[in-house]
Amino acid sequence: MLDDPRRQVALRLALEPPDGADAEEAERLSRRLRVELSRLDVDDVRTVGGAAAPPGAKGVESVGELLVTLSGAGGVLATVVGTIRDWLGRRGNSGSITLTIDGDSLELSSTTAAERERLIDTFVARHAEP
């Protein structure tokens, strides 16, 4: 049950940068998202995995992943997911982010705001139920 304050939730985020982004731009996007998430009431936000782009590469497939550890109480998950949604919305074409909890994934990309909202509500509800 997600509302159990003793339960720790591990939310894995895989950021896919926009087409044409170089390694520096991809790293900058990842860093900005990490800083924004670390300002929330979460236990930890850390970078995990990620392959280095080859020297001279113009495009980057993935900048690695962030692991957000949070409490299962107080609507923290909804706040984190809402922050990710807003972060994507402010950046226009900033690629996509795949959120994963316990093998259940949700990809947020250039869908409409209404579509993103519906997908997010469904994802959060699945993890708020026992």
pLDDT of residue 11: 93
* 114 in any annotated domain: yes
0.85 exceeded by pTM = no
* 23 in any annotated domain: yes
pLDDT of residue 46: 93
Average pLDDT for runs of 10 along the chain of length 130 = 66 86 83 93 86 45 77 81 85 80 85 74 74
Measure the CA–CA gap between 103 and 88, rounded to whole angstroms: 22
* 85 in any annotated domain: yes
Our measurement of the distance from residue 85's CA atom to the centroid of its chain's CA atoms, rounded to an integer in Å, reads: 9
* 31 in any annotated domain: yes
Our measurement of the distance from residue 48's CA atom to the centroid of its chain's CA atoms, rounded to an integer in Å, reads: 13
pLDDT of residue 51: 47
CATH number at residue 101: 3.30.70.120
pLDDT of residue 129: 53
pLDDT of residue 6: 64
pLDDT of residue 68: 95
pLDDT of residue 4: 54
* 75 in any annotated domain: yes
Whether 42 contacts 117, CB under 8 Å: no
pLDDT of residue 58: 44
* 2 in any annotated domain: no
* Number of domains observed in the structure of the chain: 1
* 3 in any annotated domain: no
Which tokens belong to 113? 């705001």
pLDDT of residue 108: 83
| DSSP secondary structure, 45-101, as one string | EEEE--PPPPTT-S--S---EEEEEEESSTTHHHHHHHHHHHHHHHTSS--EEEEEE
pLDDT of residue 107: 86
Host domain of residue 93: 8-128
Whether 64 contacts 21, CB under 8 Å: no
For 107, the 3-state DSSP assignment is strand
* 1 in any annotated domain: no
